[in-house]
Amino acid sequence: MPQHAHSCRDGLLRVASELMAEIGYAAMSMRQLAARAGLQPGSLYNHVASKQDLLLDVLLYALAQRLEAWRCSTYPRNLQGYLRFMLERQRTHSGEELLLRHESRHVSAQQRGWVQAAQHRLREPLRQYIAFEQHCADDVSAICEAVLALLDSADNLRRREAPMDEPAIERWVMRMSRLLVEPQPVTGVSRRLTSA
């Protein structure tokens, strides 16, 4: 693909991302997108096959941008570094966060696999850090999902009527994730329950 075509495509995806974050995928028309991108409505289809395919491209683009930002970041390559990066990304890229959390429900069943594969690539470092800190592979997926739910909760704490400040959100996420990740000692009661 020529460099010009690639940069045009990236520009179109950025504009579509902004528009979807502002008014939502369902409310966005291809005519609105063409106007904002400075294209004739008919020429928009030289770049995208359909609105549904555009949504998939926007979500994959957002996930790829987030993964690339992590790879290029200077955060420590451990659980705390990953969580701090994700918290910062949520805060500084709220439109991207909004798209990933809310608009992905509009992808078709066939497209869902593509989005899940991209999400898996983004979550893979988290899984590795959890496995390393757990010193075993037991429950890594469940713990990973719980930590991701903490990150979602952090974004909700920012959006409350009386939002929590960023340092408090970070402390809360770090404390709760530590509780999830640290191997728990087996007590006599739980040992009896698991052996029954």
150-170 mean pLDDT: 92
pLDDT attached to residue 128? 93
Give 23-42 pLDDT, tens digit per residue.
999 999 999 999 999 998 88
Which pLDDT belongs to residue 13? 94
Residue 99 has pLDDT above 90, yes or no: yes
Residue 185: the pLDDT is: 65
pLDDT of residue 154 exceeding 60: yes
Domain boundaries, the chain: 52-184
Mean pLDDT of the chain: 88
Which pLDDT does position 50 carry in this prediction? Answer: 92
pLDDT score at 189: 53
- What integer pLDDT is reported at residue 23 of this predicted model? 95
Residue pLDDT, tens place only, 179-188: 998 866 666 5
Q: Which of 3-7, 44-48, 49-53, 142-146 has the lowest mean pLDDT?
A: 3-7
Predicted TM-score of the model (pTM): 0.84
183: left (phi over 0), alpha (psi -120 to 50) or beta: beta
What does the alpha-carbon distance between residue 33 and residue 6 come to, in Å, rounded to a whole number?
18
Q: What is the 3-state secondary structure (H, E, C) of the chain?
A: CCHHHHHHHHHHHHHHHHHHHHHCCCCCCHHHHHHHHCCCHHHHCCCCCCHHHHHHHHHHHHHHHHHHHHHHCCCCCCHHHHHHHHHHHHHHCHHHHHHHHHHHHHCCHHHHHHHHHHHHHHHHHHHHHHHHHHCCCCCHHHHHHHHHHHHHHHHHHHHCCCCCCHHHHHHHHHHHHHHHHCCCCCCHHHHHHHHC
Lowest mean pLDDT among 46-55, 63-72, 131-140: 131-140
CATH architecture of 52-184: Orthogonal Bundle (1.10)
* Phi and psi torsions of 46, nearest 5°: -75, -20
Quick count: other Cβ atoms within 10 Å of Cβ 9?
Answer: 15
Higher pLDDT, 19 or 132: 19
6: pLDDT confidence band, cut at 50, 70 and 90? Answer: very low
pLDDT confidence of residue 60: 96
